[in-house]
């Protein structure tokens, strides 16, 4: 997973970069097929904004978050992306699971009451 961090009207300091990397590490725990993440930190007047675009197998995910504090904006961004990745993972794995259920129907197992013997 490659993470590109850039700033628009803000200098991306070492502590800020480390904070972004620590927050985005948890995304890889949920879904290991993330190829690239582009993070942009923006300051517009008094609003701190964090945006990210994630490239995963099968989709491109995007989220943004605003707050008075840049660290809080990064937290909100990470939470939004976390939910999107989990939803994407459930959709992709759910499709494969549904296909395997179609190949192995549950109707093949039946119980014949006439064939069962009872002890009195």
pLDDT in tens, 13-60: 999 999 999 988 888 877 777 888 999 999 988 899 999 999 988 789
CATH of the domain at 90: 3.30.160.100
119 pLDDT band, cuts 50/70/90, is low
Between CA 74 and CA 95 the distance in angstroms is: 32
Please give the order of strands across the beta sheet that includes 47-56.
2-8, 34-44, 47-56, 59-67
**Residue at 37 is within a domain:** yes
Q: Is residue 26 part of a domain?
A: yes
Q: Which domain holds residue 7?
A: 2-99
Say if 25 falls within a structural domain: yes
Q: What distance in Å separates the CA atoms of residue 13 and residue 2, rounded to the nearest whole number?
A: 18
Say if 111 falls within a structural domain. no
79 band by pLDDT with thresholds 50, 70 and 90: very high
The number of beta carbons lying within 10 Å of the beta carbon of residue 66 is: 15
Looking at the chain, the whole-number percentage of residues with pLDDT higher than 70 is 78
Q: Is there a domain that residue 109 lies in?
A: no
């Amino acid at each position: 997973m490659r993470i590109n961090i850039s700033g628009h009207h803000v200098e991306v300091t070492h502590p800020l970069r480390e904070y972004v990397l620590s927050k985005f590490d948890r995304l890889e725990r949920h879904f290991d097929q993330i190829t690239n993440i582009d993070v942009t930190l923006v300051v517009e007047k008094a609003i701190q904004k964090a945006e990210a675009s994630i490239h995963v197998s099968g989709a491109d995910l995007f989220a943004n978050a605003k707050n008075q504090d840049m660290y809080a904006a990064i937290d909100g961004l990470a939470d939004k992306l976390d939910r999107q990745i989990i939803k994407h993972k459930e959709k992709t794995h759910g499709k494969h699971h549904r296909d395997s259920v179609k190949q192995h129907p549950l109707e093949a197992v039946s119980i014949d009451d006439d064939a069962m013997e009872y002890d009195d």
